[in-house]
Amino acid sequence: MTKLLDKPFKAFTIYALIILLVSIPIYFLVVDWIWLTEIDDHHEIAMERIEDRFKEAYLSGQELDTILNSWNMLQPSSYIVPLTGTIARPDSIYEVTKYNKYEQESDRFRGLQTVIEIDRKYYLLNIETNVEEAYETIFAIGLVTVVLYGLLVFGFIQLNRKISKAVWKPFEITLSKLKSFDLSKNQEVTFEQTDIEEFDELNTTVSRLIAENIIAYNQQKAFVANASHELQTPIALLKSKLDLLLQDEKLNATQSELVNAIQIPLARLTRVNKNLLLLARIENSTYSDVEEVDFSEKVAKSEELLQDYLMEKLLTVKKIGHSICHFECSKFLAETLINNLLSNAIRHTTQNGEIIMEWSKNGFSFKNSGKEALSQDSLFKRFSISTTETTNSGLGLAIVKEICRQNGWEIRYRFENSFHNFSIAFQKF
C-alpha cells in the first residue's frame, strides 16, 4: 500500500525527471546556437571594420605589404592574404577542430572567410574564434540539471512530509477515533473542527452514520430485552400448566410421555430467554459489587454445582494452578462466567472425555477434549451454530464474551492437541 500523497509525489518526480532530461539537449542547442550566432555576428562586424579601416588608411603598396606581414605574424585569430586567380568565391562560415598549443588540446574553432578589397586588390580575410567544445557545454548543462533535479526532489520530499503532516492531521484524528470506536460501549464520538472542506464533510457523514448506528443498536438491544421480558409470563404459564397436567390422574402413559416431551423444548425456550435477559442485563448494567475473586475458589464451587453433570458423562477433571489467580470482578459476573465456561465444556465433551482448568496470575483457561476445531468467527456470536448439538442455547459464549468485554479482558479460542481451549487473559495477549 502506498500513501495517498506518495502517489502524486512519484508522478511529479518522474515528470520532473523527464522534463529535465529533455531540457539538457534543448539547453545545449539553444546555448550553442546563441553562441555561434553571436560569434558569426562578431566576425561580420570585425570583417567590415577591417575592410573600412584599410580603405581609410590609404596605404601605398609597400606599406600595405609590411602591415599585412606583421598583421599575419601578430594577429592571433585572423590573417589576410592576397588572392590570386578567381575571386568569385562567397563568404563562408566554417567550423574546424584543431590543435591548440596553448591549451595542449584540440579545440573547436568557428571561422569566417571572406574576400576584401584593398586598393583595388583582392585579399582573403580569415577570422577564427575558439568556441567551447560541445561535450563541455553538455556536461556543464547536465551537471546543473542534475543538481537542480536533486534540489527539486529534496524539496518535494520535504514539502510532502510537511503537507501530509499538517493537512492530513484532521483525517488521522478521525481515523484513530474510528479505530477505537466500539458500538457496544455506548460512547459518543465527536470530531474536531477542521477548515478543510472534504474532511469536514467526511466527519459530518461519519458522525451521522455513527449516530444512526447507535440508535439502531440501542433499539435492537431494547427490542431483545423487551421481547424476552414479555416472553417470561407465557413461559411461566406454560410451565405451570404442564405441572398441573402432570398431576392429572387420568393421564395415560402416552399422554404423560407427551407432557414430558413438551418439557424439553420448553426448558430450551426458558434457557434461551433467560440467557437473552441475562445478556441484555450485563450489557446495560454497570456492576458495582466488585470484589476480589479467587479463581480456584470459584471454580471449585462451580465444579461442585456441576458435579452431577460431570459424573453423568464420566468426565475427568484436571485442575492446574500455576500461581494464585486473583482478580477484581463483580461476584455475580465472575460466577456466571465460570459456570458458563465449565458447563459449556461439559456440554461439548463426549463421554469419558477430559476437562482441564488452568490458571495463573495472568488469566485462566478451560480446555476440553474434542474432535475438530470450531469456527473462530462465529463462536462468540449469538445463536451461531458451531456444532450440531441442539442443547446449546447459542448464548453461553456470547455471555462469556460480554463479561470479558465489561472487565477489559481478552478471550481467545484455540484448538490444539485435540483440545478446545478457551483462555482468558486479564491483559492483552
Partner 1 sequence: MKILIIEDEKELASDIVKFLAEEDYRCETAGDFATAKEKVSLYQYDCILLDLMLPGGDGFEILAHLRSQNKQDGVIIISAKNTLEDKIKGLNIGADDYLAKPFHHSELAARIHSVIRRKQFDHLNLITQNEIRIDLLSKTVQIAENPIILTKKEYDLLLFFIGNKNRVLSKSALAEHLSGDLADMFDSHDFVYAHVKNLKKKLNEQNYGGYLKTIYGTGYKWGI
Cβ proximity to partner 1: between 8 and 265 the closer is: 265
Q: Which three cell numbers stand for residue 300?
A: 471449585
CB 344 within 8 A of CB 424: no
| 82/265 with CB nearer partner 1 | 265
Closest CB 244 distance from partner 1, rounded Å:
6
- CB within 8 Å of 309: residues ≥ 6 apart: 343, 346
Residue 196 or 242: which CB sits closer to partner 1?
A: 242
Structure letter (DSSP) for residue 198: H
Q: Which is nearer to partner 1, 274 or 412 (CB)?
A: 274
Q: From the CB of 366, what's the least distance to partner 1, in Å?
A: 14
In the bound state with partner 1, the residue whose beta carbon lies nearer, of 163 and 267, is 267
- Residue type for 41, please? D
Closer residue to partner 1 (CB): 93 or 245? 245
Shortest reach from residue 337's CB to partner 1, in Å: 13
For residue 85, give Cα distances in angstroms to 80, 120, 121, 277. Answer: 16, 14, 12, 125
C-beta of 379: minimal distance to partner 1 in Å? 17
Closest distance of CB 372 from partner 1, Å: 22
| HEC secondary structure over 57-118 | HCCCHHHHHHHHHHHHHHCCCEEEEECCCCCCCCCEEEEEEEEECCCCEEEEEEEEEEEEEE
From the CB of 231, what's the least distance to partner 1, in Å? Answer: 10
- In the sheet that holds 410-416, the strands lie side by side as 316-321, 354-360, 363-369, 419-425, 410-416
**195 vs 308, beta carbon nearer partner 1:** 308
Give me the helices (H) in 100-196, please: 134-167, 169-179
CA–CA distance, 324 with 327 (Å, rounded to integer): 10
User: CA-CA distance, 396 to 247, in Å (whole number)?
Assistant: 33
Question: Which three three-digit cell numbers place residue 62?
Answer: 609597400
Smallest gap from Cβ 271 to partner 1, in A, equals 5
Compare residues 157 and 385 and give the one whose CB is closer to partner 1.
385
d(CA 262, CA 238): 10
Please report how close the Cβ of residue 382 comes to partner 1 at its closest, in angstroms.
Answer: 16
Q: Which is nearer to partner 1, 114 or 393 (CB)?
A: 393
Smallest distance, partner 1 to C-beta of residue 209, A: 35
* Smaller CB separation from partner 1, 60 or 247: 247
CA-to-CA distance for 124 and 117, rounded, in angstroms?
9
Residue 235's identity, in one-letter code, is: I
C-alpha cell at 411: 478471550
Residue carrying the nine cell digits 568557428: 110
Which residue, 38 or 230, is less far from partner 1 as judged by CB?
230
**Are 358 and 367 within 8 A, CB to CB?**
yes
Which DSSP state fits 193? P
- Angstrom distances, CA of residue 306 to CA of 293, 317, 341: 20, 12, 12
Shortest spacing between CB 363 and partner 1, in angstroms: 23
Q: Which residues bind partner 1 (CB under 8 A)?
A: 229, 232-233, 235-241, 243-244, 246-247, 253, 256-257, 259-260, 263-264, 267-268, 270-271, 274, 277, 281, 289, 305-306, 308-309, 311-312, 332, 339-340, 343, 346-347, 390-391, 393, 396
In the DSSP assignment, the letter for residue 322 is S
Phi, psi of 323 (to 5 degrees): -160, 175
**Minimum CB–partner distance for residue 176 and partner 1 (Å):** 38
SS3 state of residue 213? helix
